[in-house]
Structure 1
């Protein structure tokens, strides 16, 4: 993976919005039904560059740089999914959007879920990709690796696309070690959103790679909380989950390339364009 594979070729309109105590950067692409697009940890909206043409074919995509990521400078608060979700909700209000779809990957998937939990009236359809709802679902060896993410790891990350991107676009490139400290602290927090997921009412698509950070069974568990995978769907689809929820386990992918896969774009657009 190189930095260039993360770069969008489409022309974008980049702007800042003063919302919820943060100067939030976002880029707007295309026209049509609005889609809020949320990137993964240590990335930015540019992560989706390879699939933006597919996403923007008939959708307006608003790619947000979350707190401390991309062109959004960090502020004096922890990297908390709930606070970042409130940022996104405030941006939705700032832009005057009515129930946009919210699509997020990894960190962005967790934030997207929190937007849906905390501000359900602001979300049309929800796509949560590679987003785990319990910390203990993640493979133990990965949890061990996450425990090593801190400012001390900055030197070892200088050859990664995440570091290159941050140095190129961040308002304060020297803050990269601080971002690693905050990411490490956030990943160390235990969480279990089982009950919150069970209460989701907007149509929700659960997406994962077949070799993701948690086993496919975890994402099937999430789907079951949404009334999925409990019975035959029926010839007319009347046995499908109540509420229009869906599940996609994408073949041949991992947590680290799903966000730029044409398969991810295809299932996302297909789900968002459904009428029921």
Structure 2
């Protein structure tokens, strides 16, 4: 173990689990029904700090730093959401959790979805925020920007919160260009999760900002795949999706602040705390 990694482990408030060859960092906060909370790309679990007190008032929250992010060092494999989902499934087993709820934002929302696709028996409920299910759903000008994300951009990001966070907590701060390369490669891959979403058997809340990376219509489309919005809900809710799915488009927010919004915390808790 390198000196930098040893320092990160001894000063951080969390612990590490060795899963699938990844030395995965996680923190546990609060008490109650367990919720695994997954951050966005180039971020870490600590970015949820503004809403963490609200969530931990009634839930045990497990914050995870995904592969190559925050205090979890990168390994020799792509940044693939399916592989990261298997890491989370292994963490659930490692911690002995009984069907915890999964809440994820952006990259974390995609990873949380993949856990529900691949390991539905390990998941209670799912909240996926700002996670589009087709690459072409993203606004075209943003897709063009994503195509420019490579390690060469590291020099231009030195004044950003993402760079500052990585330099402060990463076991190998010099890996930031490598992370950018891998994020860029991942975003360049075409994908369409339509059929996987249609087959979801875990009660799911789809969340988006009203000015998100993809338009609100895309998240309505995702809700329709879950049997949502196709008919009147009825006085007693009898017309709602049979699988217990729901949709929330949050006003006045963007992809860049929804994960820290009290509205996001509120709709998440409202969905997770419904009778089961």
For this structure pair, what is the TM-score category when the shorter chain's length is used for normalisation?
A: over 0.9
Q: Secondary structure at the match of 1:67?
A: coil
**Number of residue pairs the alignment of both structures matches:** 265
Instruction: Tell me, in whole angstroms, the C-alpha distance in 1 between the residues paired with 2:235 and 2:181.
Output: 52
Instruction: Tell me, in whole angstroms, the C-alpha distance in 2 between the residues paired with 1:245 and 1:57.
Output: 24
Q: CA deviation at 1:243?
A: 1.0
Q: Secondary structure at the match of 1:241?
A: coil
Q: Match of 2:203?
A: 203
Q: Match of 2:8?
A: none
Q: Which runs of 5+ in 2 are unaligned?
A: 1-11
Q: Match of 1:78?
A: 78
1:1-276 to structure 2, matched below 5 A, reads 13-276=13-276
Verify the 8 A CA contact 1:49 1:260 in the aligned structure 2.
yes
Instruction: Tell me, in whole angstroms, the C-alpha distance in 2 between the residues paired with 1:158 and 1:199.
Output: 42
Q: Deviations over 1:8-62 (max 9, x none)?
A: xxxx950000111110000100000000000000000011000000111110000
Q: Secondary structure at the match of 1:50?
A: coil
Q: Which runs of 5+ in 1 are unaligned?
A: 1-11
Normalising by structure 1, what TM-score?
Answer: 0.95
Q: Secondary structure at the match of 2:209?
A: strand
Q: Secondary structure at the match of 1:92?
A: helix
Instruction: Tell me, in whole angstroms, the C-alpha distance in 1 between the residues paired with 2:250 and 2:160.
Output: 25
Q: Secondary structure at the match of 2:111?
A: helix
Q: Which runs of 4+ in 1 moved over 4 A?
A: none
Instruction: Tell me, in whole angstroms, the C-alpha distance in 2 between the residues paired with 1:21 and 1:154.
Output: 26
Instruction: Tell me, in whole angstroms, the C-alpha distance in 2 between the residues paired with 1:85 and 1:217.
Output: 26
Instruction: Tell me, in whole angstroms, the C-alpha distance in 1 between the residues paired with 2:251 and 2:206.
Output: 14
Instruction: Tell me, in whole angstroms, the C-alpha distance in 2 between the residues paired with 1:199 and 1:275.
Output: 23
RMSD after superposition: 0.8
